[in-house]
Amino acid sequence: MTTHDDAGATGQHGDPAAPITNPDRSLYNDDLAPLPRERRSWGWFEIFNVWSNDIQSLAGYTLAASLFIGAGISGWWVFAAILLAGLIIKVLCDLAGAPSVKYGIPYPVFARAAMGVRGAQFPAVVRAVVAIFWYGAQTFFASTAIALALNALLGNPGGATFLGLTWVGWVSYVAASLLQVYLFLGGIEKIGGFLNVVGPAVYLVMIALLVAIWMQAGSDMLTAVGSIFASDNLSTGAAITAFFGVVGTMVAYFAAVVINFGDFARNCRTVGEMRVGNSTGLILSLALFTFLSVFTTAGAYMVYQGGVGEPLTNPTDIVAQVDNVFLTVLAAVTFLLATLGINVVANFIPPAYSLSNIAPSRISFRTAGIITAAAGFVIGALWVSTISQIGLPTFVDTLGAVLAPLYGIIIADYYILRRRHLRLQELYTLSPEGAYWFDRGWNGRAIIAFAVAAVFSVATVWVPALAGLAGFAWVIGAVLGGVFHWALMRGRTVV
């Protein structure tokens, strides 16, 4: 194995993010080029708000509430598991983001080092497909906020359904889809400013909602919360498995952002600011949001359901029960904006970069975004009637299991095999002499490592005999992907 310092890696006077000279046009456009340091305007607060909005989404609330209700262990252990997952994600994102801060490159370009300059199209497409599924799902969740406001104003008109949605549901879904495209077209800087406002606003509305419910619940609120935190129906061994299952599911939930975190980190001025943003956004925000979610769910269970049946886990369903039109509309608008914001950042921008990477000279970042929106629209339209039937935790674990090996491969390649050094110029050349040419631009060893690891990680979600490992699908896939890649590549000279 050979390595070299930054100056040798770039050939540009030691600047890791120096401009590219004479790139191959099939690998390069302005969106995929290294981002100059003078154009990087993000600090820790922008990263903090990326995570705050990701956590605050309606899907995030539903998942957190579902885990508290269905894990079968004490709520204190569920809370601890969620915070542990946040710490793990913070470490994973620090690892994934540092190369993009150093070199100014997005995830699809970073992946070329491990997969080959042509082979990187494969993980880019996989990431794009997963993001499009998430984009469609989050668009549906965002549309429920619009439907909530419309039903409150129109007096719940109801009517016939198509694919599980009434006419109000369809109007809301189309509106949510168009609003996201409008936000995307404003560019990354406007999106960052949007998140800076919406992130804190969501917490204010959630606190107002909790206060409104607590006032109605009175002393029953603490009784309901106590029953959730005291619940423990499993043996010691099963409880430990359930604990780490919660950790694994939460890690899988954030996996779609983890693997391509470089798409956001490249906008940061320094690695230190990125790390501070990850720490505060993931750990502090996750703790506050989880606290608000479980108290709100428990209070609504007592006030609106009388402690009978399954608790409501979608905040829009809870808000719909509050006898206050103003608060209902305000909460609906706030949850809508939060979900739209993170959907654009986490599930719109990544596939736009990834699809643009397939044919940079023909597919611009904006064109790729429109393709994403169109495909995601179809996915979201089928959410109620088809996709949601498998359950949100299973949906999350499956998508995470597909992405996990890719993360393990690119991280092991950069940190272990390449010792944190890349030849930046050669990420944009098709020359057979290039460091990332491999076999006609493809690293077959990395593809094999992905295939073997992905089969096993997905099997843990769907094969009954491996059901006990389902919550660990992402971790298993990432570790196996990295180990297999290292094993297959260790005999090859890496530069």
pLDDT in tens, 169-221: 889 889 888 888 887 777 666 666 776 777 777 778 778 878 888 887 787 77
Q: Does residue 494 lie in a domain region? A: no
Look at residue 187 and tell me if it is in a domain. yes
Considering only 73-87, 300-314, 415-429, which range has the smallest mean pLDDT? 300-314
Give a yes or no: residue 58 inside a domain: yes
Which pLDDT value is given to residue 94? 95
- Whether 433 is in a domain gets the answer yes
Q: What is the CATH number of the domain that holds 284?
A: 1.10.4160.10
Residue 495 lies inside a defined structural domain of this protein: no
For the chain, the average pLDDT equals 80
Residues 133 and 379 sit within 8 Å (Cβ to Cβ): yes
User: 351 in a domain, yes or no?
Assistant: yes
User: In the structure, what pLDDT confidence band is assigned to residue 464 with cuts at 50, 70 and 90?
Assistant: confident
- For residue 337, the enclosing domain spans 6-489
What's the mean pLDDT in 90-108?
Answer: 93
pLDDT attached to residue 229: 62
- Among 400, 403, 412, which residue's Cα sits nearest to residue 483? 412
pLDDT at 343 over 90: no
- The reply to whether 17 falls in a domain is yes
Average pLDDT of span 374-390: 74
Does residue 1 lie in a domain region? no
Percent of the chain having pLDDT more than 70? 84
Of residues 441 and 326, which shows the higher confidence score? 441
Whole-angstrom CA distances from 52 to 45, 168, 212 are 10, 29, 23
Q: How far is CA 346 from the centre of its chain?
A: 5
Name the maximum alpha-carbon separation found in the chain: 73
Per residue in 140-177, pLDDT tens? 888 888 888 888 788 778 777 787 788 888 898 898 88
What CA–CA distance (Å, rounded) separates 350 from 191?
Answer: 14
| CA atoms within a 13 Å half-sphere pointing along the CA-CB vector of 50 | 34
Contact (Cβ atoms closer than 8 angstroms) between residue 246 and residue 85: yes
Q: Which residue has the tokens 């894990």?
A: 71
Confidence of residue 408 (pLDDT cuts 50, 70, 90): very high
DSSP state of 312: P
Q: What is the pLDDT of residue 405?
A: 92
C-alpha 420/C-alpha 390 separation (Å) is: 40
Counted domains in the chain: 1
Distance CA 1, CA 491 (A): 8
- Determine the Cα–Cα distance for residues 215 and 71; give it in Å rounded to an integer: 28
Provide the pLDDT for residue 426: 92
Q: Which of 83-92, 206-215, 427-436, 478-487 has the lowest mean pLDDT?
A: 206-215
Closest CA to 473 of 389, 398, 385: 398
Query: Is the pLDDT confidence value at 123 over 50?
Result: yes
Q: Is the pLDDT of residue 8 over 80?
A: no
Give the C-alpha separation, 480 to 452, whole Å: 8
Structure confidence at residue 489 (pLDDT): 92
pLDDT of residue 62: 74
Res 232: pLDDT: 60
Answer yes or no: is pLDDT of 322 > 90.
no
CA angle 138, 188, 404 (to 5 degrees): 50
Residues 219-270 have pLDDT tens digits of 777 777 776 666 566 666 777 878 888 888 788 778 778 888 998 899 999 9
2 pLDDT tier (thresholds 50, 70, 90): very low
Give this prediction's pTM: 0.77
pLDDT band at residue 413, thresholds of 50, 70 and 90?
Answer: very high
DSSP label of 305: H
**Which whole number is the average pLDDT over 421-425?**
91
pLDDT band at 389 (very low <50, low <70, confident <90, very high): low
Percent of residues, the chain, with pLDDT higher than 90: 20
The answer to whether residue 324 scores a pLDDT higher than 80 is no
Angle at CA of residue 216, ends 212 and 221, nearest 5°: 95
Indicate whether 15 pLDDT > 70: no
pLDDT at 392: 57
